[in-house]
Amino acid sequence: MTAGPTPRRIALISVHTSPLAQPGTGDAGGMNVYVWQTATRLARRGIDVEIFTRATSSTDQPVVDAAPGVTVRNVVAGPFDGLDKRDLPSQLCAFSANVLRAEAAQEPGYYDLIHSHYWLSGQVGWLARDRWGVPLIHTAHTLAAVKNAALAAGDAAEPMLRVVGEQQVVDEADRLIANTATEVAELVDMYGADPSRIDVVVPGADLDRYSPGDRSASRAVLGLRPDDVFVTFVGRIQPLKAPDVLVAAMAPLIKADSTSRLRVMVVGGPSGSGLAQPTALIDLAERLGIADRVDFLPPQPPERLVHVYRASDVVAVPSYSESFGLVAIEAQACGVPVIAARVGGLGVAVNDGRTGVLVDGHDVDEWTRRLSELLADPARRADMGRAAGQHALQFSWEHTTDSLLAGYTRAMSAFGRHAQPDGGRFGLRRWRNRAKVMA
């Protein structure tokens, strides 16, 4: 552990999605899991965590005691429903005003630190940091410039509004948290971030929940046939995640399968719009003549998702970009090999050739070939599954929390020395980078 100050109470900002939402659909995914898992663990270490998120239902209570030491503050900013994530920049003023009011109602110096998640929250954290005189730590989760450089066919580019807003947050945050060294390089190369202000904090999996288990028992829980072979996709159904690449790549294998046992399982709900929506996926499976061999399950809570992983023979993560990819770790923690695109954090999450397979690009024929190799060799899959279970043990939320705390300490130690909420600290670099990103 890094010696130095630790916060007594932190304001954790998650504007666009609540940690209490079911992940795997809409805007709820890995970030929700990350926020919840780290908040509860920070609280167990004696830190009060208050999470500010946007209220999305009239039944959301303003203040929810979500777990010992974890409070969720549902901030009213705009209508409860009908607002797309892309509309949320219009509500940042309302959201920020209510965050500032909540703090003003407490004794002075109520929060020691702000941790913002995703750029929308970073914008709020920037203002609150200047008002409260505490350090701002920011985790981007995904970066627009990275996403735009690897778009799925038909997927909409992230708007300039986000690119510019994200750049401002990168420039203003006292420290940045990156999932992997790859993300550090992206922040430095694409956003001109100062590497000495970035901490690598590797995300984890809930290893108490996700562990190897009996495949047949899990199949019985889910009502699946004991001797089918399942290649499974878990996550938000959106073009970026490329479930269509998996379905298309599996089609020739399913058609050539004389046992009629090979199936694709797709677990998750719609997110955004575009080619890979569930209805479009069903259409695709129908066009390819494999609709009766593709199973769709709605988003599953963790206590059932563990059975989905354990029931699977292979889990596929074909995403176009992925800052980490929690699904890849959770599946491996359950002793299941993963076939993943060699992008972003998936290169860290999967040990290529040992715990799974990394595939370059999204060429459907190449995916068919790599899947076919894996499916033809049950002994290799079993070896990989065992290695995957071991590999995943290094990714724990406890470890993530240790690293976060070290970053908080660094931020608090440095803050008194050079923080000046004058907006001009990084001014020159800000404009230079903005020109670079917009070019």
Binding residue (CB under 6 A) for ligand UDP from 163, 169, 267, 311: 267
Q: Token match 């890094």: residue?
A: 2
To the question of whether residue 310 is assigned a binding role by annotation, the answer is yes
Strands (E), 101-223: 113-117, 136-139, 175-178, 198-200
Which residues, in sequence order, are bridge partners of residue 136? 114
Q: Token match 């004696």: residue?
A: 46
Nearer to ligand UDP, 304 or 386 (CB): 304
Q: Does 29 bind ligand UDP (CB under 6 A)?
A: yes
To the question of whether residue 162 is assigned a binding role by annotation, the answer is yes
Nearer to ligand UDP, 125 or 325 (CB): 325
Nearer to ligand UDP, 219 or 236 (CB): 236
Nearer to ligand UDP, 24 or 165 (CB): 24
To the question of whether residue 106 is assigned a binding role by annotation, the answer is no
Q: Does 103 bind ligand UDP (CB under 6 A)?
A: no
Q: Which two tokens stand for residue 386?
A: 């065992």
Looking at residue 192, its amino acid is G
Residue 319 beta carbon to ligand UDP: minimum distance, rounded to whole angstroms: 8
For residue 230, count CB atoms less than 10 angstroms from its CB and return exposed for 0-12, middle for 13-18, buried for 19 or more.
buried
To the question of whether residue 85 is assigned a binding role by annotation, the answer is yes
Looking at residue 70, its amino acid is V
Nearer to ligand UDP, 136 or 315 (CB): 315
Binding mask 293-312 for ligand UDP (x = CB under 6 A): ------xx-x--x-------
To the question of whether residue 390 is assigned a binding role by annotation, the answer is no
CA 275 – CA 239 distance, rounded (Å): 6
Q: Does 356 bind ligand UDP (CB under 6 A)?
A: no
DSSP annotation of 356: E
Binding residue (CB under 6 A) for ligand UDP from 10, 13, 33, 392: 33
Nearer to ligand UDP, 23 or 125 (CB): 23
Q: Token match 């420039």: residue?
A: 171
Residues numbered 210 to 239 that lie near ligand UDP (CB under 6 A) are: 234-236
Does residue 310 contact residue 337 with C-beta atoms inside 8 Å?
no
Q: How many CB atoms lie within 10 A of CB 211?
A: 17
Per-position DSSP letters for 396-418, written without gaps between them: BHHHHHHHHHHHHHHHHHHHHHH
CA 431 – CA 331 distance, rounded (Å): 42
Q: Does 327 bind ligand UDP (CB under 6 A)?
A: yes
Q: Does 243 bind ligand UDP (CB under 6 A)?
A: no
Q: Does 324 bind ligand UDP (CB under 6 A)?
A: yes
* Nearest C-alpha neighbor of 234 from the set 292, 282, 300, 294: 300
Q: Does 172 bind ligand UDP (CB under 6 A)?
A: no
Nearer to ligand UDP, 96 or 142 (CB): 142
To the question of whether residue 300 is assigned a binding role by annotation, the answer is yes
* Nearest C-alpha neighbor of 332 from the set 263, 384, 262: 384
To the question of whether residue 322 is assigned a binding role by annotation, the answer is yes
Q: Does 316 bind ligand UDP (CB under 6 A)?
A: no
Q: Does 24 bind ligand UDP (CB under 6 A)?
A: yes
Residue positions counted in the chain: 439
In order of 16, 212, 315, 339, 391, the CA distances from 236 in angstroms are: 16, 24, 14, 17, 25
Residue 81 beta carbon to ligand UDP: minimum distance, rounded to whole angstroms: 21
Nearer to ligand UDP, 56 or 139 (CB): 139
In order of 10, 42, 67, the CA distances from 403 in angstroms are: 16, 11, 22
Residue 114 beta carbon to ligand UDP: minimum distance, rounded to whole angstroms: 22
Nearer to ligand UDP, 33 or 42 (CB): 33
Binding residue (CB under 6 A) for ligand UDP from 66, 74, 330, 426: 330
Residues numbered 175 to 194 that lie near ligand UDP (CB under 6 A) are: none
Per-position DSSP letters for 166-198, written without gaps between them: HHHHHHH-SEEEESSHHHHHHHHHHH---GGGE
Binding residues for 1D-myo-inositol 3-phosphate, by number, are 16, 27-32, 85, 118, 142, 162
Binding site for ligand UDP (CB under 6 A): 23-24, 29-31, 33, 234-236, 267-268, 299-300, 302, 305, 324-327, 330
